[in-house]
Amino acid sequence: MELGYQIPVTALILIGCMLAFTVVTTFMFRSQKTSADYYLAGRKVNSFINASAISSDYLSAASFLGVAGVAFLFGFDGIIYALGFFVGYIALLLFLASPLRKFGRYTVPDFVSERFHSKPARVLGVIGVLFISLFYMAPQMLGAGKVMGLLLNLDYATSIIIIACIITFYVTVGGMKATTVNQLVQFWILFGAMFLLAFIPFMVKGYTYADVVRFLHEFKGPAPITGKEFDGAAYTSPAYWLTSLKDTLSLLLALMFGTAGLPHILVRFYTAPDGKAARKTVIYVLFLIGMFYIMSPYVGHVIRYIFLNGEAMGVSPHLMQWLADNGKNLAVPVAGSYFGGQVLLGIVVAGAFAAILSTVAGLIIACAGAIGHDLVVNVFNPNMPERSRVMVARVASVGVGLLGIPLGFWAESMQIAILVGLAFAIAASTFFPVLVMGVWWPKMTKNGACAGLVTGIVGSFFMILGKDMLPHFLQYNNPGGFVMVLTFIAIYVASKMEYAAKGEAAIPPDTMEVMALLHGPEKA
């Protein structure tokens, strides 16, 4: 990409400082004596620090670049991403955070396997973790390629390779402890960047949300540069983009309940000291990301306002061209450059860089746990010594981290938030139903868990990648809500059938003890 202006020195300085900090913390925490140290930071992470790290894990390129980008692109309908991403944490608080921590294992497949005493359920859980995490990693790498292009005028492929190597290094060496500290710092960088993007237009420039929406609503005619007809009344109304009720409901359910099924988010609750700390962490997270998601759609709509009213044409024609060519992913960097020049652009690019680093790091840890802890150790070699388990974790981290390179190449032409929405669809239709039923329904059986995982994995995979093979009424832009309902049904039916065939023997013998542990007082 040709930049049309000087390389943002501020961004280089900030990112240089961030990378230097990352290297220092990585070497500070490079000693990992046990797998609990590597995967869970010894289960001693403070609630506020954990909340900042989780928020950093969650506020990925999809949130930092994508939510404002979707609002810029699709107007009112784009707000559904901010709503869905936020509401998911309420479901997590109500249904899963504290019980999962009380259960006290390492990973999501751990819970599925040990709740139902089933190795097949563990293997299916590993497949689910990898499927969700790699699907989620692809748009992060897409964001990395775009951001590095802005920063250094590098081509997309080179950017992807550099980012993948950086993240793989610090996760592999530093494990969860270094990742947590880095994510804490990265969150406040990206949050500060979004705060400035909202503060300057609103408080300094005087662009109130009401004035912006009124202008957009009344605009009708050809848009600058593209010449495409723009209907502001439609843009500021529902059904501008989401024209189908079934698609809208399925997308919203996927975003809401997919949050409560994301392995790299769920595993962070195992780092809390206890269930009470896990609940407190979620409350902090709700506050932090709630503020973030209030600001993001406003920024997207302000940039659409600037694009249409021609203010930027005389000042920054190259920014107008960026919006015309790739506003879906570059609305946030354009806002930084327009409202704060090189300084704010540098802060924004550093924020985007931080969002990508933190999220991909969390995904690598989740995948490494699934491969190293769940598959290699618990399925193939349960007696492996701790030193060897840490080595397996590091090797798995390297393999998963480098997978980000081909994933980034594959995602190059896609929209970040929409691609992440598909990862949420898989999480909503796979882990959320299985975990919720496993935590709250004592009569769920091993066959029910396996049936739910198979339905979620196969159903979402087929409805995403094989969409064109289905009849029209089963074609969803995001099938998460639809497949999630099927998964709940599959769990219920398979459990009932196994119970009818085996009677009480179908229920795991320690079910009541597990339920007492999940829902009883903290001492238990």
Cβ–Cβ < 8 Å for 391, 377 = no
Burial of 211: CB neighbours in 10 Å, binned 0-12, 13-18, 19+? exposed
- Residue recorded with tokens 């480098």: 402
Four-point Cα dihedral 203, 208, 209, 213, nearest 10: -150
- Residue recorded with tokens 């880095």: 182
Provide the token pair at 480: 């998460």
Per-residue buried b or exposed e for 416-428, using 16+ beta carbons within 10 Å of the residue's own CB: bbbbbbbbbbbbb
Rounded to whole angstroms, how far apart are CA atoms 240 and 186? 35
Provide the token pair at 295: 């600001």
Provide the token pair at 62: 């999809």
Phi, psi of 221 (to 5 degrees): 150, -170
Please choose, from the candidates 488, 465, 444, the residue with its C-alpha nearest in 3D space to the C-alpha of residue 112. 444
Question: What are the pLDDT tens digits along the chain (524 aa)?
Answer: 444 445 667 777 887 888 888 888 878 877 766 776 776 666 777 888 888 888 888 887 778 888 888 899 899 998 888 888 888 888 888 888 888 888 877 788 989 999 999 999 999 999 999 989 888 888 888 877 877 776 667 788 888 998 889 888 878 887 777 778 888 888 898 899 999 999 999 999 889 999 999 999 999 998 887 778 899 999 999 888 888 899 999 999 998 899 888 888 888 777 778 778 878 888 898 899 999 999 999 999 998 998 888 766 555 666 777 677 666 677 888 888 888 888 888 888 888 888 888 888 888 888 888 898 888 888 888 888 878 888 888 899 999 999 989 998 888 877 676 777 778 889 999 999 999 999 999 999 999 999 999 999 999 988 988 888 889 888 998 899 999 999 999 999 999 999 999 999 999 999 999 999 988 876 54
Give pLDDT, residue 383: 85
- DSSP class of 220: E
Element (H, E) at 116: helix 108-116
Cβ–Cβ < 8 Å for 407, 426 = no
Q: What angle do CA 76, 74, 460 make, to 5 degrees?
A: 100
The HSE-up count of residue 523 (CA atoms within 13 Å, CB side) is: 0
User: What HEC string does 9-32 produce?
Assistant: HHHHHHHHHHHHHHHHHHHHCCCC
Q: What angle do CA 479, 428, 262 make, to 5 degrees?
A: 130
What is the DSSP annotation of 221-236? EEPTTT--EEEHHHHT
Rounded to whole angstroms, how far apart are CA atoms 24 and 29? 9
The HSE-up count of residue 183 (CA atoms within 13 Å, CB side) is: 32
Please choose, from the candidates 29, 25, 32, the residue with its C-alpha nearest in 3D space to the C-alpha of residue 389. 32
Alpha-carbon Rg for the chain, nearest whole angstrom, is 23
Q: Report the predicted TM-score, pTM, of the whole model to 2 decimal places.
A: 0.85
Element (H, E) at 89: helix 79-95
Provide the token pair at 287: 């506050």
Distances (CA, A) of 240 to 68, 75, 76, 293, 425: 16, 8, 8, 21, 22
Give pLDDT, residue 452: 96
Q: Is 206 left (phi over 0), alpha (psi -120 to 50) or beta?
A: left
What is the DSSP annotation of 407-419? HHHHTTTS-HHHH
User: What HEC string does 327-396 produce?
Assistant: HHHHHHHHHHHHHHHHHHHHHHHHHHHHHHHHHHHHHHHHHHHHHHHHHHHHHHCCCCCHHHHHHHHHHH
Cβ–Cβ < 8 Å for 140, 356 = yes
Q: What angle do CA 354, 59, 462 make, to 5 degrees?
A: 115
Give pLDDT, residue 313: 57
Provide the total of helices (H) and of strands (E) in the chain, helices listed first: 22, 2
Cβ–Cβ < 8 Å for 300, 70 = yes
Beta bridge partners of 220: 231
Angle separating helix axes 119-152 and 108-116, nearest 10 degrees: 170
